[in-house]
Amino acid sequence: MESNCRVVIFESYPLFSSGMKTILGASNTIEVTGEATSIDHLLHLIQDTYPTIIVFDIIHCVNAGIKPLRKIARKFPHIPLLLIVGEEYADCFDTYIRLGVKGFVFKDDSPAEFIRAIKEVCSGHDHFRNQVRSYFQESLQSNRKDRASKQSNHSLTDRETSVLKLFCRGLTYKEIGHQLSISPRTVETHKQNILSKLRVKSTVDMVKYAFHNRILS
């Protein structure tokens, strides 16, 4: 026999919350144990009703953002989160998933899909559209490339890093040589090595790369 899903709904607007409650009332395996319109109210409801899932409408959240989700995930890591989202939140999908969100329901999904999502997440599964999975995989690959790029910066020697930082300050070969107690010709040698390692062609590109990849920090 299928276990009941005890649901707490976070929705800033009572009209939408009432609509969700009506939809979920069509299922005899889902019970709405509370509805919250503020984060503080939501936290109290979770503590009082012990839900098996939290439905969080990120679209109509007045203070929508990562902070409230992080707070909930930190306080109740054992309770899965199901977000109601729109395509316009795509840039945040990977962040939501990393916070522990187990599924998305889109604002254009059907009531039947909403019920199915809740049942799947309550059963210990996740619920994501294929395009969300693809987006998340692309984000992971992008992050790996970024990390690889930053790791490649470590191939610069300490001296090369010092030279690069001084170029970013707009100093000339002579001024850099004076500061580092080396000749301008040696500065030129270091610069060529930097260009080669960073795979750029000019001083301007080198400086841009340094700022973009936070080599100066």
Residues spanned by CATH 3.40.50.2300 within the chain? 5-140
Q: What mean pLDDT comes out for the span 95-118? A: 89
pLDDT in tens, 167-212: 888 889 999 999 999 998 899 989 988 988 888 888 888 888 887 7
The verdict on domain 155-212 having CATH code 1.10.10.10 is yes
Q: Which amino acid is at 174?
A: K
More confident residue, 64 or 124: 124
pLDDT in tens, 114-145: 999 999 999 999 888 765 555 555 554 555 55
5-140: what CATH class? Answer: alpha beta
> At 158, is the pLDDT very low, low, confident or very high (cuts 50, 70, 90)?
confident
Q: Does residue 180 contact residue 163 with C-beta atoms inside 8 Å?
A: yes
Average pLDDT, the chain: 83
Q: What is the pLDDT of residue 32?
A: 94
66 pLDDT more than 80: no
Joined tokens for residue 175: 């001024």
Identify the burial level of 189 via C-beta atoms within 10 angstroms of its C-beta, where 0-12 means exposed, 13-18 middle and 19 or more buried.
middle
Q: Residue 48 has what pLDDT? A: 94
CATH 1.10.10.10 location in the chain: 155-212
Residue 53 in tokens: 């899932």
User: Does the pLDDT at position 35 exceed 80?
Assistant: yes
Which pLDDT belongs to residue 1? 37
14 vs 30 pLDDT, higher one:
30
Q: What would the pLDDT profile of 77-86 be if each residue is shown by its tens digit?
A: 999 999 998 8
Q: What percent of the chain has pLDDT over 90?
A: 38
Length of the chain as a residue count: 217
Statement: residue 16 has pLDDT above 80: yes
> What is the residue whose two structure tokens read 């992008």?
142
Separation between Cα atoms, residue 149 and residue 70, nearest integer Å: 28
Q: Which two tokens stand for residue 25?
A: 């009332």
pLDDT at position 151, please? 52
Cα 27 to Cα 5, 122, 124, 133, 185, distances in angstroms: 10, 14, 18, 28, 78
58 or 142: whose pLDDT is higher?
58
pLDDT in tens, 38-56: 889 999 999 999 999 999 9
Residue 96 predicted with pLDDT over 50: yes
Residues 6 or more apart from 99 whose CB is under 8 A from it? 66, 69, 70, 73, 81
153-158 mean pLDDT: 74
